[in-house]
A = this chain, B = another copy of it.
């Protein structure tokens, strides 16, 4: 449980792929799908959605495809996940405005909301660049240091 959807995974993988091939002006959905062995049509729809939210730029026609709309360092994992899966709630009961229907108190919700914020914070601190520039062997010095302080 507490899983990302496969679509979000696919989206992250695709952006990583694009970040790793900055020389190419665009990569088609099919190319990316083939590279990872994921269903092409499904990935296509994901990329379309990422285009609609402005993370990608698309170009139809031959040699068309998708490209990052910004530098990979400027795109966070959170943005990708949010674009694909929608808002991120850890509790089942957190609904838009009406809150929890459970009678007295879902007091649980309040502390878990902080956990939620923490997760969001962490995901925001990870950029697509971070995902890409990792050769399997270069496992050593990780640069950035994200510090999350949660008071409770």
Please tell me how many copies of the chain the complex holds.
Answer: 2
Cβ B151 vs Cβ A145 within 8 A: yes
Nearest CB of chain B from residue A116's CB, rounded to whole Å: 9
Question: Given A1-B5, A90-B2, A108-B12, A122 and B130 touching (CB < 8 A)?
Answer: no
A130 touches which of B35, B111, B147 (Cβ 8 Å): B111
Total interface residues in chain A, CB < 8 Å:
56
CA distance A89 to B134 in the complex (A): 21
A3 touches which of B89, B118, B131, B145 (Cβ 8 Å): B89
- A120's nearest neighbour on chain B, judged by CB, is B2
A-B contact pairs, 19 of them (CB 8 A): A1-B4, A1-B8, A2-B4, A2-B85, A2-B89, A9-B91, A13-B107, A37-B102, A105-B136, A107-B131, A110-B134, A111-B126, A111-B134, A118-B118, A142-B152, A145-B149, A145-B152, A146-B151, A148-B150
